[in-house]
Amino acid sequence: MGVKVGAAEYRVLRSAAMFQSLTPGVAHEILADCIIEAHPPDTELFHQGDPADAFYLVLDGWVKVNRVQPNGAQTIIGVFTRGQAFAEAIAIAGGVYPAAGQTVTRARVIRVNAENIRRIITARPEIALAMIASTSQHLHQLMQQLEQLMSLKAPERVAEFLLSLTDCASGAASIALPFDKTLIAGRLGMQPESLSRAFARLRAFGVRVVGSEVRIDDVASLREAMHDIRTTPENAA
């Protein structure tokens, strides 16, 4: 059972790339048929091969999209959090989901009915052009971010990820890792063993892993130390 979208959720939806260029009237029309769903961890939002009748926008928590290969191996397509949409292209185009969507943590998502979107687009094709333009610009930005990410050494990627999870500007911080380390490694474009080595190197910069929690001695110092992290030899621990 879901609940209708309110003003706070509307603001999150407008932050998603494909909705940024829409007028408030059109955005509200889309939201009229949407519901908010709250799920515990490990909830299947849709299965690989299901009819793609909706896409999702994350309000809180984390969701992963993964594809099962013929040999049974799972490939993580993406991990999504607040303000990020997923499965929108296949839902609007029609067909079946090529991958599965599953909550990683407790999560609230907006379920956007694909049929409603298609109806609005059919009536007003200019809306589709606006959505495509916004999405294309967002994809370009994501490619730039990916290129920047891949140019960083593993410890830098991990440090940037940790800093993005805290609102603290300075002082000590404790960060509960939002999902398991295998998923974190996949999100950061590295192997799990590389993630472990990166955490080991970050100990010299006041970062300690205690179970599923990361403790940073001083957030400001870690941010200022990014250059030193970049130039630390790979075999340093």
Query: pLDDT tens digits for 12-36?
Result: 777 776 777 777 787 778 777 788 8
Q: Are residues 58 and 104 in the same domain?
A: yes
- Tokens 């500007």, residue located: 169
Token digits of residue 233: 């030899």
Can you read off the two tokens belonging to residue 143? 């490619």
Which of the listed residues 99, 117, 143 is the one where a domain comes to its end? 143
Residues with Cβ within 8 Å of residue 152, at least 6 apart in sequence:
160, 230
- Calculate the average pLDDT of the chain: 84
In a domain, 196, yes or no: yes
Co-location of 26 and 132 in the same domain: yes
Number of CB atoms found within 10 A of residue 95's CB? 10
- The residue segments making up the domain with residue 99 are 7-143
Q: Which residues of 158-169 are buried (b: 16+ CB within 10 A; e: fewer)?
A: bbbbbbeeeeee
Same-domain pairing of 130 and 84: yes
Whether the predicted model's global pTM rises above the 0.75 cut: no
Q: How many domains does the chain have?
A: 2
Q: Is 167 helix (H, G, I), strand (E, B) or coil?
A: coil
Whether residue 182 sits in one domain with residue 95: no
Read off the pLDDT of residues 87-134 as tens digits, 9 standing for 90 and up.
988 888 889 999 999 999 999 999 988 898 888 888 888 777 777 776
**How buried is residue 175: exposed, middle or buried, by Cβ count under 10 Å (0-12/13-18/19+)?**
buried
